[in-house]
Amino acid sequence: MSDAAVVLKDVSVTVHQQNQTKTILDDVDLTIAPGDFVTVLGTNGAGKSTLFNAIAGNLAASGQVTLAGQNVTSLNAIQRAKYIARVFQDPKLGTAGRMTVAENLVLAQHRGERRTLRGRRLEAARPQLQAEAAQFSNGLDQLLDSPTETLSGGQRQSLSLLMAVQKDPALLLLDEHTAALDPHTSAQLMALTDRVIKERHLTALMITHRMDDALKYGNRLIVLENGRLKADYNAAAKAKLKREDLLEFFD
């Protein structure tokens, strides 16, 4: 499928532990269309994070990975950063704590580019950065000159999301990005995540353990079990799903 945003073909990941070989991702085939927002469910150990790491290049995998029409199988994680942005569960990951909010955002604008010696151009970018931060409604726009390590967990995760979408990546990986937040902050960030993905027409994969979020957000839902793709619901099928239907995968 030439116009697909993501294509995985026979992707497997095996690890060697205590003189044994264990397969944690088992011949996964997956095609994702541009603009798809796919929620990913599965029990602990089902292979969800392994799937993300195989796509991002953080784990060696067999098979083929294609992003935005480019075969990236032989590229490492740094080289794949041109195509991929990721928001992790831990708010401390993905941001530089001692750098200010504005500095983090400017740095994100050059993700995947070759590093050169040049000015930060913070002042020129400030109006744009402030406008983007203001959409979070949590005071982030008033903290552009504050060190990131002083932010609350919700503010820091909002910054991580804003950094991730600065260059409209070919694929946005959301790795349980609301799991460490309280329910109210999590709901706010999820609503904003959904809006940003739709407004920017991004392609996204989101791991979540919150079934309500899996049902509410995205136009597609996949379930992993023992490293294999157990279920794949398109928008029409997903709309008919109930919480009880998903609970069957967790018995």
SS3 per-residue string spanning 49-103: HHHHHHHHCCCCCEEEEEECCEECCCCCHHHHCCCEEEECCCCCCCCCCCCEHHH
Mean pLDDT, residues 234-250 = 93
Give the number of domains in the chain. 2
Instruction: Say which CATH number the domain at 50 has.
Output: 3.40.50.300
Which pair of structure tokens corresponds to residue 121?
């151009």
Task: Choose one of 106, 132, 166: the last residue of a domain.
Answer: 166
Task: Choose one of 142, 166, 190: the last residue of a domain.
Answer: 166
Confidence label for 114 from pLDDT (cuts 50, 70 and 90): low
> Is the same domain home to 54 and 173?
yes
Q: Does 93 map to a domain?
A: no
pTM over 0.85: yes
pLDDT cut 90: percent of the chain above it: 70
Domain range for residue 45? 6-83+169-250
Task: Choose one of 166, 192, 214: the last residue of a domain.
Answer: 166
> Is the same domain home to 71 and 135?
no
> Is the same domain home to 234 and 133?
no
Q: Does 91 map to a domain?
A: no
Residue 117 confidence (pLDDT): 40
> Is the same domain home to 105 and 154?
yes
Q: Does 114 map to a domain?
A: yes
User: In this predicted model, what pLDDT tens digit does every residue of 59-76 receive, in sequence order?
Assistant: 999 999 999 999 999 999
